[in-house]
């Protein structure tokens, strides 16, 4: 079985599990028209995946293989044990996408792409794949550049991609975790309540909690934020000043140039 099908199978299993849990432990009641938006989100995700396959077929994996063959890259040159190379490769890729996410918010042209993700006014597992296809492509090129520069092994790339996708589905899920469990989990893992702060309509909250899987990068680089000082129990999500927000597939694809 190819790695694509393994990744797709894990995505489906994780998506189904979170969708079931969302029915039992919803943090916020979904709006009545949510089912329609879930299909739009999944269609955007499918377009991004399709574009990735057509234009940069398994780019990160291929470049990792090329790098290993050419014996290039910092990790390859360091001659570390394979297991250490794989672990360091996963950590490096996670750090790379933490900074990618910060730049998506900081650079106006990149924000025009990334706001497609933030225009969703309700969060659930489907929001995990709601990205503009061009952002998916830029992200693939950025990851490939990191893989080549560091000589990250193929196995590390595959494990990272599987892990980060599962983490994204989890932290976008509309889940209410017990407060103590959430506090304990977020010592290491980005939780739905923590990521919801990043989706807040308030600009100061939006400029926080950029991490995808672990909370360490936000703590290390000063972007970690809890919401204990707020009046509302959960932040309102979306983008300030976009009422009504563009929500059809065509509107969202065109949004970066609007
Ligand atoms: Zn963001």
Distance 166 CA to ligand 1 centre (A): 17
Q: Report CA-CA distances (Å) from 151 to 58, 72, 186.
A: 16, 6, 30
Distance 32 CA to ligand 1 centre (A): 25
Bond preceding residue 128 cis, omega within 30 of 0: no
Q: Which of 245, 249, 251, 194 is nearest to 223 (CA)?
A: 194
Please state the rounded mean pLDDT for residues 171-182.
91
pLDDT at residue 147 in the model: 86
Q: What is the pTM of this model?
A: 0.86
Q: How far apart are CA 214 and CA 205, in angstroms?
A: 18
Distance 193 CA to ligand 1 centre (A): 15
Q: Is the pLDDT of residue 91 over 50?
A: yes
Q: How far apart are CA 50 and CA 38, in angstroms?
A: 18
Q: Is the pLDDT of residue 1 over 60?
A: no
Distance 225 CA to ligand 1 centre (A): 14
- Partnered with residue 175 across adjacent β-strands are 26
pLDDT, tens only, 5-59: 888 888 899 999 999 999 999 988 888 889 999 999 999 999 988 877 665 556 6
Distance 198 CA to ligand 1 centre (A): 7
Q: Where does the pLDDT of residue 62 fall: very low under 50, low under 70, confident under 90, or very high at 90 and above?
A: low
């Amino acid at each position: 079985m190819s790695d694509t099908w393994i990744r797709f199978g894990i995505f489906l299993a994780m998506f189904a599990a979170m969708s079931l849990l969302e029915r039992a432990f919803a943090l916020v009641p979904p709006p009545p028209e949510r089912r329609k938006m879930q299909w739009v989100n999944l269609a955007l995700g499918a377009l991004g995946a399709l574009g990735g396959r057509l234009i940069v077929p398994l780019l990160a994996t291929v470049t990792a293989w090329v790098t290993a063959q050419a014996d290039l890259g910092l990790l390859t040159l360091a001659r570390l044990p394979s297991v250490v190379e794989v672990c360091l490769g996963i950590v490096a890729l996670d750090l790379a996408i933490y900074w990618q996410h910060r730049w998506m918010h900081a650079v106006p042209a990149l924000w025009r792409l990334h706001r497609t993700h933030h225009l969703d006014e309700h969060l659930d597992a489907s929001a995990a794949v709601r990205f503009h296809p061009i952002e998916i492509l830029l992200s693939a090129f950025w990851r490939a550049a990191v893989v080549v520069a560091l000589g990250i092994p193929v196995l590390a790339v595959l494990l990272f991609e599987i892990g980060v996708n599962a983490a994204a589905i989890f932290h976008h899920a509309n889940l209410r975790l017990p407060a103590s469990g959430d506090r304990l989990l977020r010592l290491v893992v980005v939780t739905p309540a923590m990521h919801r702060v990043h989706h807040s309509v308030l600009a100061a909250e939006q400029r926080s909690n950029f991490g995808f899987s672990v909370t360490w990068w936000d703590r290390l680089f000063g972007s970690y934020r809890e919401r204990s000082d707020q009046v509302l129990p959960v932040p309102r999500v979306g983008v300030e000043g976009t009422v009504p927000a563009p929500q059809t597939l065509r509107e969202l694809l065109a949004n970066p140039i609007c």
